[in-house]
Amino acid sequence: MTPNSEERFDGGSAPVTVLSDDLLAEHVVEDPHSYFSHLRETSPVHWNKAFRAWVVTRHADCLAVLKSPNFAADTVSPYFENRLSEREQTKWRPLFDVLRTWIVFKDPPDHARLRGLMRGAFTPRVVEAIRPAVQRMASTLLPAGEGRHEVNLIEEFAFPLPAWVISSMVGVHQEDLWLVSEWSKDIVEVAQGSLGSGDRRQRAQTAMLEFREYLRPIVEDRRRNPRDNDLLTELITAETESHQLTVDELLGGAILLLVAGHETTQNLLANCVIALARNPEQYRRLKEDRSLVRGTVEETLRFDGPVKSLLRVAVDEVQIGAVTVAKGDRVLISVAGANRDPRKFNDPDFFDVGRDASAQLTFGQGIHYCLGAPLARLETQEALNLILDRYRSVRLLTDRIEYDPKVIARTPLSVPVEFTS
């Protein structure tokens, strides 16, 4: 038994650990790896009473849940229908109606239709075509020249690079990136289980509706004037078996791409630089052997990825390890725990740029594998190549990185670094 835990029995009379841990407690947010490591060895599948969900921490169990058809990705509808009163449903319906258009919350057969329509926006051709623009943009953001350069990595590089890339692919003007950022922050407080204020739903709903209206004329322009290598054009012209995206799906999908398309890569890039700064011997190794850049991105996804957890709902009674999960129960898949499972990775707490980390689960598995993963990888690879080209070393200017309190994402708030040429 673990501290602050109790034991109960599931439907199969197997003992189950019940914890009341706060998943947004400061020590969990700051160091989720130590927290999930402890659980992985003591309570690999347990019920979290505070979060009202099963928490799964071992690689084999997490992979099984991600690939199983017995778990649904639509966590929005059950929350809306079962945890909100009729009055609340009426009030917050505009927000949840948009969230329910997001492919990340869709299940078969609707998921297959949407994924088929959206897949064309992330083909190797479309993604590779953006590489020169990523290189040009990255080169303008980081200081050049000899000497030492102090940089706020988030504000000056990790946020503006992916935000500019995804915004340009959707037709958002660069001067409006701050709007995208502010709307996104308000929306993810609801979508990602953040520790927000009491008015977070109101702010999220306002942001969502303003976002929709901002994008509407951009969508209409793309209908009239389609562009080559343009993500929004690909979405508008996508067609599978004579089906096209509805206007609501198109606007909702564009919002999702803008929200997730910059935050995920921002977190991945920032966490990569943090890991390299804390492991200077790995930075030197990488600088000497640039063939390791692609693997370094995968190792970052494993070691300290942009996503800590994924959420699913059991569509039927199902077994996870020795535990029986009831139909309708929520399941929090700790990919952070799975990615450091010593049963899958040797010496998992060591950051190794030469490791084969292809079994990491950060982008998911199965039918819900992240569509935008190739773009996130490309942006991070090019950003890392630029840093390696320009700087002999990188050093953190703080002993403690503060992270945004979220259940799902691993988001550093400020990363002051010193680059030395």
Residue 26: other Cβ atoms inside 10 A = 11
Is residue 284 classed as helix, strand or coil in its secondary structure? helix
What is the distance between the alpha carbons of residues 328 and 75, in angstroms, rounded to a whole number? 10
Joined tokens for residue 370 = 């992240």
- The confidence score (pLDDT) of residue 407 equals 93
- The residue segments making up the domain with residue 191 are 5-420
**CATH assignment at residue 146:** 1.10.630.10
Closest by alpha carbon to 138, among 371, 411, 390, 401?
A: 390
DSSP string, 228-262: TT-HHHHHHH--BTTB---HHHHHHHHHHHHHHHH
pLDDT at 197: 58
pTM of the model: 0.92
**Per-residue pLDDT at 230:** 80
Which amino acid is located at 205 in the chain? Q
Residues 6+ apart with CB under 8 A from 54: 45, 46, 47, 48, 320, 323, 325, 329, 330, 331, 332
Interatomic CA distance for residues 268 and 312, integer angstroms: 23
Average per-residue pLDDT for the chain = 91
Total domains in the fold of the chain: 1
DSSP annotation string for 111-147: HHHHHHHHGGGGSHHHHHHTHHHHHHHHHHHS--SSS
**Bridge partners, residue 312, by sequence:** 331
- Tens digit of pLDDT at every position of the chain (421 positions): 343 444 444 444 467 899 999 999 999 999 999 999 999 999 999 999 999 999 999 999 999 999 999 999 999 999 899 889 999 999 999 999 999 999 999 999 999 988 988 888 788 888 888 899 999 999 999 999 899 999 999 999 999 999 999 998 888 988 898 899 999 989 988 887 655 557 889 999 999 999 999 999 999 999 899 888 788 888 888 866 567 888 899 999 999 999 988 899 999 999 999 999 999 999 999 999 999 999 999 999 999 999 999 999 999 999 999 899 999 999 999 999 999 999 999 999 999 999 999 999 999 999 999 999 999 999 999 999 999 999 999 999 999 999 999 999 999 999 999 999 9
Q: Provide the residue type at 366 as one letter.
A: G
Instruction: Give the pLDDT score at 392.
Output: 97
Tens of pLDDT, residue by residue over 59-116, are 999 999 999 999 999 999 998 998 899 999 999 999 999 999 999 999 999 999 889 8
Residue 400 to residue 360: CA distance in whole angstroms: 26
Give the pLDDT of residue 241: 57
Q: Is the dihedral of CA 147, 153, 159, 161 positive or negative?
A: positive
Summarised one tens digit per residue, pLDDT across range 255-310 is 999 998 889 999 999 999 999 999 999 999 999 999 999 999 999 999 999 999 99
3-state secondary structure of 70: coil
